[in-house]
């Protein structure tokens, strides 16, 4: 009967191995969960950075348009000043001839 009892109940080393493997498995799963949590945080940060990048690209486009408009205005004003300076120069010549 002692043989049957040993086989039925299992050995103490088998029980310890099972318990330690279950414990290590739970540790592995807990470690995986911690790593997944870190990954999720990083994914959120990446999504936030992508959104900020989109906003900056949109703002950059607006700034480019504004700069182009300002450049056009400056060019027009410069041309007007040049024309006015020529006219003033011609008027001075006419006045000196009189």
Q: Is the pLDDT of residue 8 over 60?
A: no
pLDDT tens by residue, 34-55: 999 999 999 999 999 999 999 9
Please indicate, yes or no, whether the overall pTM of this predicted structure exceeds 0.85.
Answer: no
- In the chain, how long is the greatest CA-to-CA distance? 143
- d(CA 77, CA 36) in angstroms, rounded, equals 61
- d(CA 41, CA 80) in angstroms, rounded, equals 58
Helix, strand, coil fractions of the chain, as percent rounded to 5: 95, 0, 5
Higher pLDDT, 3 or 30: 30
Virtual torsion, Cα 50, 52, 53, 58, nearest 10 deg: 130
């Amino acid at each position: 009967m002692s043989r049957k009892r040993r086989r039925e109940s299992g050995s103490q080393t088998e029980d310890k191995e099972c318990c330690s493997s279950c414990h290590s498995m739970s540790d592995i799963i807990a470690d995986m969960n911690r790593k997944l949590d870190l990954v999720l945080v990083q994914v959120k940060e990446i999504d936030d950075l992508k959104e900020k990048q989109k906003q900056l690209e949109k703002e950059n486009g607006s700034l480019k348009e504004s700069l182009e408009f300002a450049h056009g205005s400056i060019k027009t004003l410069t041309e007007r000043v040049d024309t006015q300076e020529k006219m003033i120069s011609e008027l001075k010549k006419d006045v000196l001839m009189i």
